[in-house]
Amino acid sequence: MIKYNIIKKNKVWCSQPDCECNLYLHNPHRNRAELEALCRNGGYVCYESQMLREWKAYAGMVHHGPRTGETMKLRRVQSDSLCVLTTREPEMDESARYIFAVFLVTDFAEGDNEDEGCVSTTSEYRIKLSPREACQMRYWSYHANEKDPGRAVWSTGLHRYFEDDEAAMILRDIAAIKKGTKDEALAERFFHHFCTVNHVDENALGQPMGAIVRRSIRVRKRTDEKGV
């Protein structure tokens, strides 16, 4: 993964000269044990390496262009928001991006000129998904970009904003996936609690209408029209 992120994809942070993974990859005198030791006692080498330990997500910094070095801010976050953590595997199409964890935001910082924005939690409402469970939770099933709702495009930046009803649908479907597991009761409580504190009517929730759902409907409609 280190080689993929740095050599093949030239990921923004991974490829920075002062990134510990980059230093490890190109310095024959560094070993893996030293790299992993940096993640102990509260340390970390990147945002992702501490996410499921500290339950904290950062907005990041600008690494290219005239705004290089500026911190990113979180302007639309508040307590009781849902933080959804997503990823995709190497060579995986963006449309297959999946959700691997969620948590209820209890602490947040918008960010300023020195520190990037971040969200974290001290709540019990935090859930990880196993790889098998995560592959069923495709992010673009739930979310669509405003300017081009039929395309699954992330573009730049580390975060996106979405509506409460989308968040509720995600939690509802996670609760369904978690049935029969040790997280079943927590997932159910999480869903109901989120809807209550954010004034979402559980019974009025529809089905997800994210980018890949809209694309599927559009393609199906075109196929039907050709059939006629």
Q: 198 near 163, Cβ under 8 Å?
A: no
- Is pLDDT larger for residue 115 or for residue 96? 96
Q: Mean pLDDT throughout 113-133?
A: 94
Residue 2 pLDDT > 60, yes or no? yes
Closest CA to 49 of 72, 57, 86, 113: 57
pLDDT value of residue 183 = 98
Helix (H, G, I), strand (E, B) or coil at 224: helix
Kindly indicate the confidence band of residue 228, based on its pLDDT and cuts at 50, 70 and 90. Answer: very low
Domain ranges of the chain: 1-44, 47-221
- Is pLDDT larger for residue 133 or for residue 69? 133
Model confidence pLDDT, tens digit, residues 142-197:
999 988 899 999 987 788 899 999 999 999 999 999 999 999 999 999 999 999 99
pLDDT value of residue 65 = 72
- pTM, two decimal places: 0.86
Question: How far apart (Å, rounded) are the C-alpha atoms in residues 40 and 152?
Answer: 36
Question: How far apart (Å, rounded) are the C-alpha atoms in residues 202 and 36?
Answer: 43
Model confidence pLDDT, tens digit, residues 204-224:
999 999 999 998 776 555 555
Q: What is the dihedral of CA 59, 212, 1, 44, to 10 degrees?
A: 20
pLDDT value of residue 28 = 87
Query: Could you tell me where the DSSP H helices lie in the chain?
Result: 2-3, 20-26, 32-37, 131-134, 139-142, 164-177, 184-197, 211-227
pLDDT value of residue 226 = 54
Model confidence pLDDT, tens digit, residues 38-76:
998 889 898 888 999 999 999 887 766 776 677 888 888
**Range name among 23-27, 72-76, 119-123, 159-163 with the lowest pLDDT average:** 72-76
